[in-house]
Structure 1
Amino acid sequence: MDPERISKDITEMAKNDKYSILLPTYNEVENLPLIIWLIVKYMDKAGVNYEIIVIDDGSPDGTLDMAKQLQTLYGTDKIVLRPREKKLGLGTAYMHGIKHATGNFIILMDADLSHHPKFIPKMIELQRYLNLDIVTGTRYALGGGVYGWDFKRKLISRTANYIAQILLTPGASDLTGSFRLYKKPVLEKLIKSCVSTGYVFQMEMIVRARQFNFTIGEVGISFVDRVYGESKLDNSEIFKYVKGLLYLFATT
């Protein structure tokens, strides 16, 4: 087929596309202005229709107040605020955001600057070209990498991902990553089918996607450790990960 014709067809199909970027936040007052500035920069450059939905879970550091200032700066059509009173879990934060999303595509990413928005246009391009159900960012293939972690953190992440690959054979190289693009109906179905919380939730999403025969593509990303704030990963999350991994192995 003619590559130029394919490109025109993809562009024509994309005219009605809108991307809802979900940003769950908790104590991200320093990071939020920069991540939103970067998202706006790269999405505007890509020339796509989008909205950023900030789901703050009762941050005591003033994250919501900062989000309100950013909404004033960028406009209510670009910055949508859907806060909650307290931390209720990542999965429920996504469901809360989806209820208010007006886009037919949903992008999930962290607000702590570990996911650079410059990779979003690459995800969009791959999805459009292959009509994929999911495009996931990978740190462990296609030129991806991890920066800013010490040896222990890298070892934990690599080991966790390696064991998951052996036990679950998910068809994706990075199970625990959370930088992904979904068709909205696909994400809604996956979230309803998942029972995990915390870091295991992201892994289960890909495993369930394989069960439903959804198509998955990957884009290599550079993952950078947060500069401001504290990581939410602790020993309890590691225990939950192992428990969740064994559960998925036994039930899928």
Structure 2
Amino acid sequence: MIDSPDKDEHGGAPVARVLVAVCTYNELDSLPELVAGIRAALPSADVLVVDDGSPDGTGEWAADKAGRDPWFTVIQRGRKLGLGSAIVAAMRHASDAGYDFLVNLDGDMSHDPVEIPKLVDVAHREQADVVIGSRYVPGGAIEGWPMSRLVISGLLNRVARIALGLQARDCSGAYRCYRVDTLDKVDLNRIRASGYAMLEEILWLLTHRDAKIVEIPIRFVNRVQGSSKLSLGEAVKSIAMLARIACSPRR
């Protein structure tokens, strides 16, 4: 576990550099509102968009924003390479740029940015290496999901806990705050899951490095904008990848 950032020159609360990452594919309808919400929730945070060649103009909007606002950065990857690899790209950027904490959330307004300060605060106070915004701890909630999505999510989490020995209740939720110094202990080149299973794989890798993982309740609202990208096919791929990870040596 890594110590908190140093206190400021007046001896006050720790001053942390926070990067909020949003991985996007066709999120133009929601991204401007989300970015505004992030800055309203935590004005000191910088924002990174990792876009996978969205045909709806998401990447172009982000590039224009980056040209106007110094706190905003975009990585345009040109083609759809997967959520997991996009989060890894954000982790690399956070490390290279010297941030203390990386917060990741969905780009569709399902995750309320008002929770960002709470995630960062818990990471500070509890010296946590990962803070998960959890749908499945007491106080957490999911709104608007059909039964099929609830079953898929429940199955993924059960497989992850059994196969990988994870203790978290919400292993597949993307709303997280990572301590960047802890991520630096992981060889990101060895992460094999480029899709949704990356969310479980990074927890598995960090668990084997004695990372402190904390969950706090969040309210998840089913894609306020757009349509879901997690299909049954993606769920099957994720379960197959989790099985491969479980059979691989710890590293």
Task: State the TM-score, normalizing by the size of structure 1.
Answer: 0.85
| Contact persistence 1:171–1:210 (CA under 8 A) | no
Q: Measured at CA, do residues 81 and 160 of structure 1 come closer, stay the same or move farther in structure 2, by a change above 3 Å?
A: closer
Query: Displacement, 1:225?
Result: 1.2
Q: Deviations over 1:3-39 (max 9, x none)?
A: xxxx99xx83522x11011111110000101111111
Where do residues 98-113 of structure 1 align in structure 2 (5 Å cutoff)?
98-101=91-94, 102=97, 103-113=99-109
Q: Which of 183, 193, 196 is the aligned partner of 1:196?
A: 193
Query: Secondary structure of 1:87's match?
Result: coil
Q: Deviations over 1:202-232 (max 9, x none)?
A: 0111111111111111111111111322221
Q: Deviations over 1:104-154 (max 9, x none)?
A: 211111111111111111111111112111111111003111111111111
Query: Secondary structure of 1:213's match?
Result: coil
Q: Measured at CA, do residues 241 and 222 of structure 1 come closer, stay the same or move farther in structure 2, by a change above 3 Å?
A: same
Q: Measured at CA, do residues 157 and 91 of structure 1 come closer, stay the same or move farther in structure 2, by a change above 3 Å?
A: closer
| Contact persistence 1:28–1:111 (CA under 8 A) | yes
Where do residues 169-188 of structure 1 align in structure 2 (5 Å cutoff)?
169-188=165-184
Query: Secondary structure of 2:223's match?
Result: coil
In structure 2, C-alpha distance between the alignment counterparts of 1:71 and 1:167, rounded to whole Å: 41
| Contact persistence 2:123–2:179 (CA under 8 A) | no
Give the letter for the 1:153 counterpart.
R
In structure 1, C-alpha distance between the alignment counterparts of 2:58 and 2:179, rounded to whole Å: 28
Equivalence for 2:56: 61
| Contact persistence 2:132–2:214 (CA under 8 A) | yes
In structure 1, C-alpha distance between the alignment counterparts of 2:81 and 2:158, rounded to whole Å: 29
| Contact persistence 2:84–2:196 (CA under 8 A) | no
Query: Secondary structure of 2:106's match?
Result: coil
Give the letter for the 2:208 counterpart.
Q
| Contact persistence 2:50–2:77 (CA under 8 A) | yes
Q: Measured at CA, do residues 147 and 250 of structure 1 come closer, stay the same or move farther in structure 2, by a change above 3 Å?
A: same
Query: Secondary structure of 2:247's match?
Result: helix
Q: Measured at CA, do residues 169 and 96 of structure 1 come closer, stay the same or move farther in structure 2, by a change above 3 Å?
A: closer
In structure 2, C-alpha distance between the alignment counterparts of 1:249 and 1:55, rounded to whole Å: 28
Q: CA RMSD in A?
A: 2.2
**1:133 counterpart = 2:129:** yes
Give the letter for the 1:14 counterpart.
P
Equivalence for 1:19: 18
| Contact persistence 1:71–1:79 (CA under 8 A) | yes
Q: Tell which deviates more after alignment, 149-158 or 187-196.
A: 187-196
Query: Displacement, 1:70?
Result: 4.1
| Contact persistence 2:85–2:195 (CA under 8 A) | no
- Percent of pairs identical after alignment? 32
In structure 2, C-alpha distance between the alignment counterparts of 1:156 and 1:90, rounded to whole Å: 17
In structure 2, C-alpha distance between the alignment counterparts of 1:206 and 1:185, rounded to whole Å: 15
| Contact persistence 2:100–2:179 (CA under 8 A) | yes
Across the two proteins, how many residue pairs are aligned to each other? 237
Structure 1 unaligned spans of 5+: 1-6
In structure 1, C-alpha distance between the alignment counterparts of 2:91 and 2:160, rounded to whole Å: 28
**1:234 counterpart = 2:245:** no
Equivalence for 1:159: 155
**1:78 counterpart = 2:71:** yes
Task: State the TM-score, normalizing by the size of structure 2.
Answer: 0.86
Q: Deviations over 1:73-103 (max 9, x none)?
A: xx52221122121122233323433444332
Where do residues 144-155 of structure 1 align in structure 2 (5 Å cutoff)?
144-155=140-151
Equivalence for 2:82: 89
Structure 2 unaligned spans of 5+: 1-6
